[in-house]
Structure 1
Amino acid sequence: MKSIKQSFKIFFKIILAFVILLLIYTLFVFGLSKITVNADVAQKEEIEIFIKTNGVHTDIIVPIKNEIKDWSKEIKFNQTKSKDSLMNYVAIGWGDKGFYLNTPQWSDLKASTAFRAATGLSTSAMHTTFCKSVSESENCKRILISKENYQKLVTFINASFQRGSNKNMQYISGRGYAKNDAFYEAKGSYSLFRTCNTWANEALKSSNQKAAFWTPYDGGIFCHYQ
């Protein structure tokens, strides 16, 4: 009986510690997400970019080609490469590789995938999607930035791709969702403290755009663009 009570006390302490950590994490999430950085940076309206969320994940959308960067030289469609020239924008996102490749729908999510993503035990990937046009909406915000800041954004995004010995982006063959997207190997690991939205927020910060001090969720970015 005594051993059962001791086991129960240990189990209770573990649960209590988990709840306390979860509460602390939640406080940090909502507190730090509301702190705005780069709010007063002077902006030149020279290049159009977008941030877009599907309700969970944030992408950075940039022109396929301009005087600073031609993404079509490195990023290709998954299947129909000949149609690259018909598109005007490319949406770029960073995320957990296992989640990206093995969870096309929420119903496909496995406990093992979620655990590895939350704890930073898996690798990451870049997801790129070409599109003809982008429409501004509640879930898609248009941002006009200077050429100098766009160059900083390009530098940040480029540094997120893992490259081979030939310095080319490492394409993940045959794993796109459709004919206008593709996956590439990325640097870093996904975790509760560095999510796809943290990456997008860091991209905005690096290019002197409004962003959260830190955020793991899309709302922490979009609340600064209301």
Structure 2
Amino acid sequence: MYPALAFLLLFLSGTMLPVHRRFEQTPDGVPVFVVSNGFHTDIVVPLREARTDIDWLRQLQQPTLTARFGSYEYAAFGWGSERFYLESYGGKFPGPATVLRSVVPGKTLMHVDFYQHAPRPGRRVVALRISPTQYQQLAGLIAQSFQPDSAGAAVLRNAAGYTPDDFFFWARGRYHALRTCNDWTNGTLRKAGLRTALKAPLAGSVLFQARRSRPAREIR
């Protein structure tokens, strides 16, 4: 009982311990956003970024998507359990059996959502400005999470997502109790040098530290 409680407290207390505490936003940097629906987090980035020559439609190598979303401005990326994602169609929350099975490693998907415009900062949206170098690192980490085919192209898992603007692709890695969707967001931001939590099992954990990043106006 007590060892389990101690582990749980240690697991959750990682939210309060920042990594890259001195991370500072960049004036006129690349705009990125951490977005939550209350349970899950996504990283939202420019669909095309001229300074780094990163074009996500080009990277995904999906001609149909390029034709449909060429006029859009942002794309959201989230990693997570295949079971959770597919059982969430229709706005449903996965059943108890799926939740229990997620304790052990399972297959994963990348969720890609196309935004016509930038998300508006708010309670569940944190806006950040990062340097082009940091953005290149961040984009590389996101790209590495896709499971490509033999030609290096991302592979669609489903022809349609929850809306006409989102899709699922096969991903690398296994989802389990100690490696959740929010851990992926947190870890991806941390590896790119942004302020994050030491451990982020919950969406609030990711937002809590991202919101405490030093704003660009404080930079000297």
TM-score normalised to the size of structure 1? Answer: 0.84
CA contact (8 A) 1:54 1:139 kept: yes
Query: 1:132 aligned to 2:116?
Result: yes
Q: CA 1:93 to 1:107, structure 2 compared with 1: closer, same or farther past 3 Å?
A: closer
CA contact (8 A) 2:87 2:93 kept: yes
* CA distance in structure 2 between the partners assigned to 1:200 and 1:59 by the alignment: 7
Q: CA 1:105 to 1:28, structure 2 compared with 1: closer, same or farther past 3 Å?
A: farther
AA matched with 1:204: L
Partner of 2:165: 180
* CA distance in structure 2 between the partners assigned to 1:109 and 1:42 by the alignment: 38
Instruction: Quote how far apart the aligned CAs of 1:64 are.
Output: 0.1
Instruction: Quote how far apart the aligned CAs of 1:99 are.
Output: 0.9
2:41 maps to which of 48, 55, 58: 58
Structure 1 unaligned spans of 5+:
1-16
AA matched with 2:196: A
Higher RCO (C-alpha 8 Å, min separation 6):
2
Partner of 2:133: 148
Root-mean-square deviation (Å): 2.2
CA contact (8 A) 1:35 1:213 kept: yes
* CA distance in structure 1 between the partners assigned to 2:179 and 2:45 by the alignment: 22
CA contact (8 A) 1:75 1:128 kept: no
Q: CA 1:106 to 1:85, structure 2 compared with 1: closer, same or farther past 3 Å?
A: closer
AA matched with 1:110: G
Give percent identity, aligned residues only: 27
Structure 2 unaligned spans of 5+:
213-220
Instruction: Quote how far apart the aligned CAs of 1:108 are.
Output: 5.2
Matched positions, count: 207
Once the two structures are superposed, residues 94-135 of structure 1 have per-residue CA deviations (whole angstroms, 9 ceiling, x without a partner) of 000111112225645233322221222x20000000011211
Instruction: Quote how far apart the aligned CAs of 1:174 are.
Output: 2.2
2:16 maps to which of 4, 14, 34: 34
Q: Over alpha carbons, which structure has the higher Rg?
A: 1
Partner of 1:44: 26
* CA distance in structure 1 between the partners assigned to 2:33 and 2:154 by the alignment: 23
Higher helix share: 1
AA matched with 1:31: S
TM-score normalised to the size of structure 2? Answer: 0.86
Query: 1:82 aligned to 2:64?
Result: no
Q: CA 1:94 to 1:83, structure 2 compared with 1: closer, same or farther past 3 Å?
A: same
Does 91-100 or 65-74 show the bigger shift? 65-74
Pairs within 5 Å for 1:1-226: 17=1, 20-21=3-4, 23-45=5-27, 46-67=29-50, 68=52, 69-75=54-60, 82-104=67-89, 107=92, 109-120=94-105, 122-133=106-117, 134-224=119-209, 225=211
